[in-house]
Amino acid sequence: MKIFKTAILAFLMSAIAFPLFSQKPEKKPKVNSLVVYEEKFDALVSKKLKESEVVYDERGNILEEITYKQGKVNKHFRYQYDSNDNKIKEEKLDPSGKVIETSEYKIENGLRVEKVVYDQNKKMKSRKTYQYTFF
């Protein structure tokens, strides 16, 4: 009888605890873009300026990132990713949206092994190679 009570108690405990551990975490909302504004207050005047803007893809990767200084474009980047969410291309743009520099990344086994930077005329400016040591 004692074994029977212990077995029933164990069954009830697992029936109560199992749903608590098996529940899937809540999904985060998929953000398409984010714009940040900063509002500054002086004695009589308030000023609201755009501080930054970020656009995401459906997988959460940043596609475009713009920062502003006093309401004007300060830095502007666009990014591309491979099917494994590795960044493979980065474009730096001027305030008018013209590409002024492009960086291309080579990925092997999930690791960046090369970065090549080109100017606006697609002339190579620099190349970095990455060498890894493993345990």
Alpha-carbon distance of 29 to 51, in angstroms, equals 23
Which pair of structure tokens corresponds to residue 73? 């474009």
Q: Does residue 1 surpass a pLDDT of 90?
A: no
What does the longest C-alpha to C-alpha distance in the chain come to?
85
Per cent of the chain over pLDDT 70 is 79
Would 135 be classed as within a structural domain? no
Instruction: Report in angstroms the alpha-carbon separations of 114 from 108, 117, 126.
Output: 9, 10, 11
Q: Is residue 14 part of a domain?
A: no
Give me the chain's average pLDDT, please.
85
For residue 25, is it within any domain? no
Enumerate residues 6+ apart whose C-beta is below 8 A from 113: 106, 107, 129, 130
Residue 66 forms beta bridges with which residues? 53, 76
**pLDDT for position 79:** 98
Q: Is residue 24 part of a domain?
A: no
pLDDT at 44: 81
* Residue 113 domain flag: yes
Question: Are the C-beta atoms of 89 and 80 separated by less than 8 Å?
Answer: yes
Name residue 86's amino acid: N
Range of the domain at 48: 32-129
Tell me the per-residue pLDDT of 76-91, one tens digit each, with 9 for 90 and over.
999 999 999 999 999 9
Write out pLDDT tens, residues 14-39: 544 444 445 555 666 788 888 888 88
| pLDDT class of 12 with cuts at 50, 70, 90 | very low
pTM > 0.75: yes or no: no
Query: Residue 112: which CATH number?
Result: 2.40.128
Determine, yes or no, domain membership for 27: no
Tally the domains of the chain. 1
* Higher-scoring residue by pLDDT: 24, 59: 59
On whether residue 134 sits in a domain, the answer given is no
Tell me if 94 is assigned to some domain. yes
Between CA 88 and CA 114 the distance in angstroms is 10
